[in-house]
Structure 1
Amino acid sequence: MNLLDHFRRMAANNLWSNDRLYRAVTALKPGEFDAMRAGFFPSIKATLNHILSVDLYYLDMVEEGGVGLAVFDAWTDFEDPAKLAAVQAEADRRLIVFCNELNKSGLERRVPTDRGDDGIIPERIGDLLAHLFLHQIHHRGQVHAMLSSTSVKPPQLDEFLLDFDIKLRKREVERLKL
Structure 2
Amino acid sequence: MDLIDHFRRMAANNLWSNDRLYRALMALKPGEFEAERTGFFPSIKATLNHVLSVDLYYLDMVEEGGVGLAIFDDWADFEIPAKLAAVQAETDRRLLSFCNELKKVDLDRRVPTDRGDNGMIPERIGDLLAHLFLHQIHHRGQVHAMLSGTSVKPPQLDEFLLDYDIKLRKKEVERLGL
Relative to the length of structure 1, the TM-score reads 0.99
For residue 98 of structure 1, report the CA deviation from its aligned partner.
Answer: 0.2
Question: Partner residue of 2:106?
Answer: 106
Structure 2 CA distance for aligned equivalents of residues 9 and 170 of structure 1 = 16
- Any idea what SS the aligned residue of 1:167 has? helix
Q: Does 1:65 align with 2:65?
A: yes
- Any idea what SS the aligned residue of 1:111 has? strand
Q: Does 1:5 align with 2:5?
A: yes
Counterpart AA for 1:29: K
Alignment of 1:1-178 (within 5 A): 1-178=1-178
Structure 1 CA distance for aligned equivalents of residues 107 and 153 of structure 2 = 38
**How many residues align structurally?**
178
Task: List structure 1 segments (4+ residues) > 6 angstroms apart after TM superposition.
Answer: none
Structure 2 CA distance for aligned equivalents of residues 132 and 139 of structure 1 = 11
For residue 74 of structure 1, report the CA deviation from its aligned partner.
Answer: 1.6
CA displacement, residues 132-172 of structure 1 (integer Å, 9 cap, x when unaligned): 00000000000000000000000000112322111111110
Structure 2 CA distance for aligned equivalents of residues 160 and 85 of structure 1 = 21
- Any idea what SS the aligned residue of 1:77 has? coil
Structure 1 CA distance for aligned equivalents of residues 76 and 127 of structure 2 = 28
Counterpart AA for 2:92: D
Structure 2 CA distance for aligned equivalents of residues 113 and 121 of structure 1 = 5
Do 1:160 and 1:169's aligned partners in 2 also have CA atoms closer than 8 Å? no
The root-mean-square deviation of aligned C-alpha atoms, in Å, is 0.5
CA displacement, residues 2-32 of structure 1 (integer Å, 9 cap, x when unaligned): 0000000000000000000000111100000
CA displacement, residues 99-157 of structure 1 (integer Å, 9 cap, x when unaligned): 00010000110000000011100000000000000000000000000000000000000
Identity, in percent, stands at 86
